[in-house]
Homo-oligomer: A and B are copies of this chain.
């Protein structure tokens, strides 16, 4: 399973955040392992059709966390062993903006709480989100 990042624009979550979160998840899952090389800033930017500065910012954030190691002129490498999972509080904190945006939109469109739950369930089924057991793999 290759290391793929999906960027979804248009609703609250900044692009650089999405890169950070998904990279972090890949490490936690073992898709990326210590020593693996990441695409260069420019390559990644091209692949995601995104501004290079945005990728640079994401890499910088990951480096600051100690997850990445950017070696001048050589490339960017994963520097930490896996299990770099966010704490539950941190995961919730990062989910919140999207949650707030949804609630706000539902409110302004006069959806009731039940409408909202139903719409979410439908979408979950449609996108085939993993249910139940935590952690996945």
Contact = CB atoms under 8 A, between A and B. Distances in A.
B129 A113 contact: yes
Contact of A112 (B10, B86, B106, B131): B131
Nearest to A22: B108
A97 B9 CA distance: 9
Contacts of A119: 92, 95, 99
Given A86-B87, A102-B99, A115-B134, A129 B109 contact: no
B28 A101 contact: no
Interface string A74-107: 1000000010111101111111011111111111
A-B pairs with lowest CB-CB distance, top 5: A11-B101, A21-B108, A98-B102, A98-B105, A113-B131
